[in-house]
Amino acid sequence: MDSTTEAPRTRRRGAALQAAILEAAWEQLVDRGYGEFTLEAVAARAGTSRSVLYRRWSSRVELLRAAVEHQGTIPVSDPPDTGSLRGDAIALLRAMSEHRVELMVLFQTRLGGFFDESGDSPADLRRLMVGRRAGSMHDAVARGVERGEVEPGRVTDRIVNLPGDLVRHQMAMTLQPVPVADIEEIVDECFLPLLAPRA
């Protein structure tokens, strides 16, 4: 019997079952690309039936979006609180570089068919993934304001997002993690001077 049509039943229910399916979906996407990303293949990998997936997602586009969003709920590291904005920013950017370069490679090399089929852009998927972590650098900057490292009037969303944008751009260009020296340069030369209190 074809394992993609009749997968073994399990006792998983509710949130546990959904998490298992979404993790299996992500693994299928990373391993096989969008060309072999089907609800049948994901069901087989998750050890459940196709009908379970079809009750939750009507298409592979919906399932992929859900898998990307689920990955965004998995923290890449504990929120840093190093005692300085510089330390926090470097820790956040290093975690991003080390754990999200796989996503950058995936977006650029394995998802062409998804973008054609769905009409989504890489930016749309990124927004799904970063949703719950979007405040991490904002939290670090807020602590910097409390410590007197940051002039509150200089804080804007564009400035707070700048170091992450620069790291993502370098990853997109190289498809490699960003070296620590480059991250430190971004923080020291491009980020902190924009927020430091004026003399």
Query: Exposed (0-12), middle (13-18) or buried (19+): which is 185, by Cβ within 10 Å?
Result: middle
Residues 39 and 84 in one domain: no
Residue 113 has pLDDT above 80, yes or no: yes
Query: Does 67 lie in the same domain as 93?
Result: no
Q: Say whether both 110 and 44 belong to one domain.
A: no
Residues 127 and 149 in one domain: yes
Residue 3 has pLDDT above 80, yes or no: no
In the predicted model, is pLDDT for residue 127 greater than 90?
A: no
The answer to whether residue 4 sits within a structural domain is no
The whole-number pLDDT of residue 131 equals 61
In a domain, 9, yes or no: no
Q: What is the distance between the alpha carbons of residues 173 and 167, in angstroms, rounded to a whole number?
A: 10
Q: Does residue 39 sit in the same domain as residue 66?
A: yes
Let me know: does 92 contact 137? Beta carbons within 8 Å: yes
Same domain? For 38 and 97 the reply is no
For residue 48, the model assigns a pLDDT of 93
Q: Which of 23, 45, 71 is the last residue in one of the domains? A: 71
- The pLDDT of residue 106: 80
90 and 180 inside one domain: yes
Per-residue pLDDT of 174-195, as tens digits, reads 889 999 999 999 999 999 999 9
Which residues, including other chains, have CB under 8 Å from residue 126's CB and lie 6 or more apart?
Answer: none
Q: Which of 128, 115, 154, 98 is nearest to 33 (CA)?
A: 115
Residue 135 has pLDDT above 70, yes or no: no
Residue 12 is predicted with a pLDDT of 63
Indicate which CATH number applies to the domain containing 92: 1.10.357
pLDDT, greater one: 27 or 80: 27
Domain range for residue 183? 78-195
Band (108; pLDDT cuts 50, 70, 90): confident
Contacts of 198 (CB under 8 A, 6+ apart): 151
53-73 average pLDDT score: 92
Q: Residue 3 falls within a domain, yes or no?
A: no
Same-domain status, 99 and 26: no
More confident residue, 15 or 162: 162
- pLDDT value of residue 4: 46
Reduced 3-state DSSP string for the chain: CCCCCCCCCCCCCHHHHHHHHHHHHHHHHHHHCHHHCCHHHHHHHHCCCHHHHHHHCCCHHHHHHHHHHHHHCCCCCCCCCCCCHHHHHHHHHHHHHHHHHHHHHHHHHCCHHHHHHHCCCHHHHHHHHHHHHCCHHHHHHHHHHHHCCCCHHHCCHHHHHHHHHHHHHHHHHHCCCCCHHHHHHHHHHHHHHHHCCCC
Q: Read off the pLDDT of each residue in 22-28 and give the average, rounded to a whole number.
A: 95
Same domain for 162 and 84, yes or no, is yes
Domain count, the chain: 2
Same domain for 138 and 59: no
| 84 shares a domain with 63 | no
Measured CA to CA, the distance from residue 42 to residue 105 in angstroms comes to 21
pLDDT band at 164 (very low <50, low <70, confident <90, very high): very high
What's the mean pLDDT in 124-141?
Answer: 77
How many whole angstroms separate alpha carbon 175 and alpha carbon 179? 12
In a domain? residue 62: yes
Q: Are residues 101 and 172 in the same domain?
A: yes
**11 pLDDT band (50/70/90 cuts)?**
low
- The CATH number linked to 30 is 1.10.10.60
**Residue 134 scores a pLDDT above 60:** no
Task: Please tell me the distance from the alpha carbon of residue 19 to that of residue 70, in angstroms, as a whole number.
Answer: 8
